[in-house]
Amino acid sequence: MKKSAAIQGLFQTPVALEALIDEIPTGLLILDPERRIVTLNHALEALTGFLRTDVGGISCQSVLRSRLCFKQCPLLAMDKDAEACCKHSDIINKDRQLIPVRVTLAPVTDINGDIAGYIETVEDMRGIREPDAEFHQAFSYSKIIGKSPKMEKIFQMLPLIAQNDSSVLITGETGTGKDMLAEAIHETSSRAKGPFIKVNCGALPETLLESELFGHRKGAFTGAVENKTGRFRLAQNGTLYLTEIGDLPLALQVKLLTFLDDKIVYPLGSAKGVHVDVRVIAGTHRNLEQMVKAGHFREDLLFRLNVVRLHLPPIREREEDKRLLIDHFLNTFSSHFGKSIKGFTKNALKLLKAYPYPGNVRELRNIIEYSVNICQNSYIAADQLPAYMSEGLQENGRETEADSSAPQRQTAGTPAKAPHYTSNWPEMEKQMILDALFSSGGRRNKAAETLGWGRSTLWRKMKHYGIE
């Protein structure tokens, strides 16, 4: 359908179709008789990550990628007299996230009663579905697990924070779970049925980031051949999560501050603002107060974001949570991979408890996933944990006692010298990067994947630490 498509006869003057369906807060998809996409609304763009300007004329299943599509599409059984049907299923969005949804499908008939196409509504069920059984635990909030005093304090605050629209600033080291905390706030809030849109402020250059956030008008710059809806508008009635807010360029900090004050978005190339109802949550591992002193972050923006501040502690400050997290990830991955792993041997558990986890919960999760992958027995042994973990143990002039429940192995050569672990986070993060680059043979893509970062984030941190 062309952009100029209009509905006539409903109002006194023709109304633009896409402008009308964009006001519907639920995802909506219009198909032709061959189930090809005619158009979709902003809510579905936000949910799937696909823009309607890019998907017109392609198959519905290429965008929704739902379980329904690959079993038996309900539209195949619909004739012109069929009633609307409602199905619970899931979709895979552009970021490869599996999202539970409720899909309602119905035929659209013309004035002669023949099928002219189909209409689908897609409702995000993440915020209103029953929690999964794996998260029915005494020491959790949404999908966040912990029983340490610092985590319990956060759990007590979250229900109150979730029910208002104040800006939230989430701080914490890399891998502590800032993204998960932001999503938990959204899913337990009154905005849960609205979209949750995440933007990494350090992943794009300034020119592209401004267009990505605020949108642009056709002709605003070279290459702007179509109007683009920014992430602020895609998050209408929902939550916009700005991760790595410390990397937001100063010029865009001014625009963000303006939005927080008046809730109006000004697309590039347009003097007309658009009012948007969005809650903003920001996350960073940086010290914003120091960045303000250095002139890299606006003090007034920090005050505006810092209405509610939540700090996620690193694992080294959550000793009570280590065993809880270890057992949780073991159960999760054992079930996912279809294995019957009962636990860890004594030495393996000792090593897991002693390791400092500079990469925090993300690193712990990756360690357990790796061990479950390679374990062929009922218990994970110490030699089935990543080799770099054992390098942090002092040998005290003798070999570590062999694991009683695992076959002994002889290692050629002299044991590696144990590295010195420091509580200084910048030094620790630099060492993490060096270790990842060494283990990946210098391949930055692989190193970034190991660290759980984007490639641009790794490049920026290497430059910051002077790593060639």
Task: Tell me the mean pLDDT in the region 151-178.
Answer: 91
pLDDT category at 205 given cuts 50, 70, 90 is confident
Query: Domain segments of the chain: what residues?
Result: 6-124, 133-313, 319-394+423-465
Q: What is the per-residue pLDDT across 269-279, written as a single tens digit (0 to 9) for each? A: 888 888 999 99
What spatial distance separates the first Cα and last Cα of the chain, rounded to whole Å? 51
Alpha-carbon radius of gyration of the chain:
26
Task: Tell me the mean pLDDT in the region 205-229.
Answer: 84
Mean pLDDT estimate for the chain: 83
Fold observed for domain 133-313: Rossmann fold (3.40.50)
CATH number for the domain running over 319-394+423-465: 1.10.8.60
CA-closest candidate to residue 172, choices 388, 429, 352: 429
- CA triple 204-210-216, angle to 5 deg: 125
Q: What is the per-residue pLDDT across 85-130, written as a single tens digit (0 to 9) for each? A: 888 888 888 877 888 888 888 888 888 888 899 999 998 887 654 4
Q: Which of 234-238, 336-340, 419-423, 458-462 is the least confident region? A: 419-423
Amino acid letter at 207? T
Q: What is the per-residue pLDDT across 322-368, written as a single tens digit (0 to 9) for each? A: 999 999 999 999 988 898 899 999 999 999 998 889 999 999 999 99
Pairing between strand 115-124 and 27-31? antiparallel
Amino acid letter at 178? K
Higher pLDDT among residues 4 and 413, named by residue: 4
- Give the CATH superfamily of 6-124: PAS domain (3.30.450.20)
Q: Tell me how far apart the alpha carbons of residues 283 and 234 are, in angstroms, rounded to a whole number.
A: 19
Flag whether pLDDT at 468 surpasses 60.
Answer: yes
pTM: 0.64
Flag whether pLDDT at 295 surpasses 90.
Answer: yes
Q: Tell me how far apart the alpha carbons of residues 30 and 121 are, in angstroms, rounded to a whole number.
A: 9
pLDDT value of residue 243? 94
Long-range CB pairs of 423-432 (<8 Å, 24+ gap) are 423/316, 425/173, 426/465, 428/358, 429/174, 429/358, 429/461, 429/465, 430/465, 430/467, 431/358, 432/358, 432/359
pLDDT category at 223 given cuts 50, 70, 90 is confident
pLDDT category at 53 given cuts 50, 70, 90 is confident
